[in-house]
Structure 1
Amino acid sequence: MNYLPIFAYLYHRPVLVIGGGIVAKRKIEQLYRAGAYIKIVASQICNEIEELIELYQIEWISTKFDPIQLDNVFLVIAATNDAILNENIYKEANIRFKLVNVVDDKFNCNFIFPAIIDRSPVLIAISSSGTSPILVRILREKLEALLPKNISEIALIAGKWRNKVKKYFFSLSDRRRFWERIFNGPCINQIIKGNIKKAKLILHNELNIRPNYSGKIILVGTGPGDSNLLTLRALQVMQLADVVLYDNLVSKEVLELVRRDAEFIFVGKKFGCHIFSQKDINTILIKLALQGKYVVRLKGGDPFIFGRGGEEIQAAKEAGVPFQVVPGITAAIGATVYAGIPLTHRDYAHGVTFITGHDHLENITDCVSLILKKQTLIIYMGITKATKISNLLVSKGCIKSTPIAIISKGTRQDQKVLIGTLEKLGCLASCVSTPALIVIGEVVNLHSKLTWFNSEVKYQHPKSCIINLS
């Protein structure tokens, strides 16, 4: 995030505008709508600005810029066609720690104007950090079409009722849940239809309802890493969370989508390094839920595929805590699709088996017959024991040249796909970082023909680094 989006309160605050042309005029109109006290410096002004000076309380203070003019203003806008002057204004304003914008000159700005959807008091600002104004304009048009026309009425009514709601609901959490109920219920539908009296009646009745805000635990599968693979339900739940517990497999871009003021607790576990045991995690989940909190447990992939989700739900059930589960795309499905490797194929594999590679390694030999019978074998968490897995399978009859793939950080921008044979599994595993998935079977041969994620790089899609070591 290159820019911090903020909304400045400019009512009766002095703002200096340097420039007297049409561009300056547009900025002056924006500032006036925000209630700013506007001062103009310009050698000459256009007719449109002359009209604004007559209509509004705008002061033309000088025909020449002097750095001393910056001392008693809140922010500065330079809208001249003199590049040297604009650069000087920027430098002088920066020295005085003033917010300054040189119009259409990103490198001489310490703040920029976003595109604005004005449904006051609701304001939506959109920015591309100065990279693509046309894209921002198109996004604004799309958002304008999606927003209810009377969203301003909704916000105004909510504002008038805010203090009254505080008297009924003392805790911040209870108030938040009340408004979530209102904004997702029939009250909003009545406002949209123009039935304001009926909407206010619903609001009043809702104040006297005391729903059971008992805590609950919701397990959410976040998929292999690409936030675009989250389900709609997962996004909804993440926006309602009071507390979020997450681990190493949950990507940063997924965490960015969680409600901003939720409490975050990291409970990550790595091979050989457990800050929290599974028992500890179960205890934390239950303790928080019994406090009446909406507890969201984010898990990479799907909670019920090697995610110990079943254990956490069992603990919740035994403690009498309500729970839900939101499925996610498991790593085996997401990562292999992004690598162009179908798990089943009429000519190569008639079935697929998922196993882990760190527990009961001797059981992996049971999979030898599957590999020999045109089955695909997926091994989760097998990187640290890749050499042992390779040796065991070969010793039990698997062909050394059996195709294998290792997919590291599948579906993410830094995804890597290593292609080789079973005898080279240990060597390839030493070249990747976790999380990583091992794929064994003839379907791996389709990778070179069906890979699509890597080919999207030229169109500015996330990267896939393909390394063929076969």
Structure 2
Amino acid sequence: MDAPLFPLFADLNGRAVLVVGGGTVAARKVEALLDAGARPRVGAPRLVPALQALADAGRIDWLRGAFSPRWLDSGIWLVVAATDAAAVNRAVADAADARRLFVNVVDDARLSRFHVPAVVERGPLRIAISTGGAAPMVARHVRRRLETLFDSAWGQLTELIGRRRDGIRAHFTDLAARRRFFDHLLDGPVLDLLRRRRPAEAEAALQQAMADTPPAAAGSVVLVGAGAGNPDQLTLAALRALNQADVILHDRLVGAGVLRLARRDAERIAVGKSARGPSTSQEQIHALMLEHARAGRRVVRLKGGDAFVFGRGGEELQFLRAHGIAYEVIPGITAALACAAHAGIPLTHRDHAQQLRLVTAHCRDSLDTLDWPALAAPRQTLVFYMGVAALARIQARLLEAGLPAATPFALVENGSRSDQRVVSGTLRQLADSALRHDVRSPALLILGDVAALATDLHWFGAAPLPAADDAPSPSLPTPPTTLADAA
């Protein structure tokens, strides 16, 4: 996969931009460049009437004739190839590349070094949407959606804040305080007054907001559940916390897609735990929360799944309370719910399961403390977290406790993510099937009659993979280390 484009807004005011081509497409490009204050030079043997009129009015410079690489040698900042001749467009692109000039070749993403996005304009506020040239119609559709969300008042608000920018910066010298002011401002009456065409009152409300903004708040910590990894399933409260965070302490299994939704300038600190490889102790996590909160920062403790389901959220709140740090909790979709839903498995079903048990199996000691006869009871669903490395032991203990060997299971790897896999079978095939399909963490084990429904009800990703053909005996050895620990 190609690297993503770097988003960039270019200041072309008074700068020369070469447009090669004299047709209607070139005319549209020239119009946009003139709006940006650029000085277009249009190279073509002939011009359509709209371009000819601009040339006659002295608004563009016309380079009459066939394309010549020399056109790029006289102070050009940017190049657009907009002819209907592929060979000419390629020659323009090659000449621009040789001179390290950014070039856009209309309708040819492969030759382009920059792309012109779809734009929503509200005065100085400009929202640009790009697909990297892959699907312009998608960008146009997104633009139409955004047009309905941002009315003209947003442009007026941007202009108002721009006029007051120096005063705001002088009043709020601390960056964190300035952010709090803007949060306070944008939730206040200013935007509504602008919508009602009352600009003087809007400006007075902004001035009042500067006076009313509370003093710098003490630091705080928000425990945020990030869900199973699919960024689409973050709650609105979680998204808001990520956009207000100064520091984000995130677990190993929090996906990159979730972190990309956070404020760009927030400090990100990985504090994941792992049985194999680098790991951060719980005491170190506590110390980091305390250090940053006492420095007045808004800390987001970002956890996979839900902070209160095998996430040590309770321990962290106890620590924060003992040290007088303000906190709040934003729940997330725990892995049992997310993985089961994306595998098409109802965790309860009146024909199959009236009880649900969530079990952690991250170490041998935790397995030894479980009530295995109770886990082997009929008409219930078992969900094992962090159990990939212990599948053989889980299988053996359940069989010893009397759970039938024909009990269905489903292993959901990377549940809710684009690379989700599901392996299904029966308890007697469990560990062998995991080895056969090289199941790795993060993966969740679901046991019970409802697990069989994954075969018929799956809707997300590929169909479940079959279990191993040859079922192992109940007394299985511990799986080799090819199965990664999910801790």
Q: TM-score, normalised by structure 2?
A: 0.91
Mapped partners of 1:332, 1:429: distance in 2: 19
Matched, 1:451 2:458: yes
1:342 matched residue in structure 2: 346
Structure 1 residues 172 and 56: CA distance shift in structure 2, 3 A: farther
What is the CA-CA distance between 1:207 and the residue it aligns to? 2.1
Q: How does 1:239-250 map to 2 (within 5 A)?
A: 239-250=243-254
Q: How does 1:235-384 map to 2 (within 5 A)?
A: 235-273=239-277, 275-357=279-361, 358=363, 359-364=365-370, 366-384=371-389
Cα pair 2:223 2:330 within 8 Å, conserved: yes
What is the CA-CA distance between 1:266 and the residue it aligns to? 0.3
Cα pair 1:371 1:441 within 8 Å, conserved: no
Deviations 1:182-212 (A, max 9, x none): 1121222222222222222222222223334
Matched, 1:205 2:208: yes
What is the CA-CA distance between 1:378 and the residue it aligns to? 0.8
2:440 matched residue in structure 1: 433
SS in 2 for 1:8: coil
**Which residue, 376, 392, 411 being the options, matches 1:406?**
411
Mapped partners of 2:429, 2:277: distance in 1: 27
Mapped partners of 1:316, 1:273: distance in 2: 28
- Structure 2 residue identity aligned to 1:363: T
What is the CA-CA distance between 1:269 and the residue it aligns to? 0.5
Unmatched 5+ stretches in structure 1: 455-463
Mapped partners of 1:103, 1:405: distance in 2: 50
2:481 matched residue in structure 1: none
Cα pair 1:371 1:440 within 8 Å, conserved: no
Cα pair 1:371 1:377 within 8 Å, conserved: no
Matched, 1:74 2:108: no
2:61 matched residue in structure 1: 59
Mapped partners of 2:14, 2:167: distance in 1: 30
Mapped partners of 1:232, 1:56: distance in 2: 52
Q: How many residues align?
A: 460
Cα pair 1:3 1:129 within 8 Å, conserved: yes
Matched, 1:467 2:469: no
**Which residue, 219, 222, 225 being the options, matches 2:223?**
219
SS in 1 for 2:104: strand
Mapped partners of 2:129, 2:276: distance in 1: 45
Mapped partners of 2:347, 2:133: distance in 1: 43
1:49 matched residue in structure 2: 51
Which deviates the most, 256-265 or 210-219?
A: 210-219
Mapped partners of 2:366, 2:88: distance in 1: 73
**Which residue, 129, 144, 156 being the options, matches 1:141?**
144
Mapped partners of 1:145, 1:396: distance in 2: 60
What is the CA-CA distance between 1:56 and the residue it aligns to? 4.6
What is the CA-CA distance between 1:287 and the residue it aligns to? 1.3
Cα pair 2:342 2:458 within 8 Å, conserved: yes
What is the CA-CA distance between 1:369 and the residue it aligns to? 3.4
SS in 2 for 1:61: strand
Mapped partners of 1:182, 1:273: distance in 2: 45
Mapped partners of 2:163, 2:169: distance in 1: 12
What is the CA-CA distance between 1:465 and the residue it aligns to? 5.7
Mapped partners of 2:253, 2:110: distance in 1: 38
- Structure 1 residue identity aligned to 2:235: T
Mapped partners of 1:270, 1:424: distance in 2: 27
Structure 1 residues 229 and 113: CA distance shift in structure 2, 3 A: same
**Which residue, 16, 20, 27 being the options, matches 2:18?**
16
Cα pair 2:119 2:126 within 8 Å, conserved: yes
Mapped partners of 2:113, 2:290: distance in 1: 47
SS in 2 for 1:323: strand
SS in 2 for 1:347: coil
Structure 1 residues 246 and 89: CA distance shift in structure 2, 3 A: same
Unmatched 5+ stretches in structure 2: 469-487
2:475 matched residue in structure 1: none
Deviations 1:34-63 (A, max 9, x none): 011111111111111111123352111332
What is the CA-CA distance between 1:2 and the residue it aligns to? 2.5
Deviations 1:194-248 (A, max 9, x none): 2222222222222223334211100110111111111111111111110001011
Cα pair 2:408 2:452 within 8 Å, conserved: yes
Deviations 1:308-330 (A, max 9, x none): 01111111111111111001110
**Which residue, 110, 115, 134 being the options, matches 2:113?**
110
Cα pair 2:177 2:216 within 8 Å, conserved: no
2:32 matched residue in structure 1: 30
Deviations 1:385-442 (A, max 9, x none): 1111111121222222221111111111111111122222222333211011111111
What is the CA-CA distance between 1:272 and the residue it aligns to? 4.8
Cα pair 1:406 1:428 within 8 Å, conserved: no
Mapped partners of 2:175, 2:418: distance in 1: 38
Mapped partners of 2:42, 2:276: distance in 1: 66
Matched, 1:195 2:198: yes
Mapped partners of 2:278, 2:314: distance in 1: 19
Matched, 1:101 2:104: yes
Cα pair 1:415 1:465 within 8 Å, conserved: no
Deviations 1:71-90 (A, max 9, x none): 22001111112211111111
SS in 2 for 1:239: helix
Mapped partners of 1:346, 1:224: distance in 2: 26
Cα pair 1:216 1:323 within 8 Å, conserved: yes
Structure 1 residues 370 and 399: CA distance shift in structure 2, 3 A: same
Shift >6 Å, 4+ stretches: none
Mapped partners of 2:232, 2:455: distance in 1: 24
Mapped partners of 1:344, 1:368: distance in 2: 20
Q: TM-score, normalised by structure 1?
A: 0.95
2:422 matched residue in structure 1: 417
Percent identity reads 39
Cα pair 2:46 2:64 within 8 Å, conserved: no
Structure 1 residues 442 and 184: CA distance shift in structure 2, 3 A: same
SS in 1 for 2:164: helix
- Structure 2 residue identity aligned to 1:435: P
- Structure 2 residue identity aligned to 1:390: Q
- Structure 1 residue identity aligned to 2:26: A
Cα pair 1:414 1:465 within 8 Å, conserved: no
Mapped partners of 1:446, 1:371: distance in 2: 20
RMSD of the alignment, in Å? 1.5
- Structure 1 residue identity aligned to 2:300: V
Cα pair 1:214 1:290 within 8 Å, conserved: yes
SS in 2 for 1:185: coil
- Structure 2 residue identity aligned to 1:194: R
- Structure 1 residue identity aligned to 2:15: R
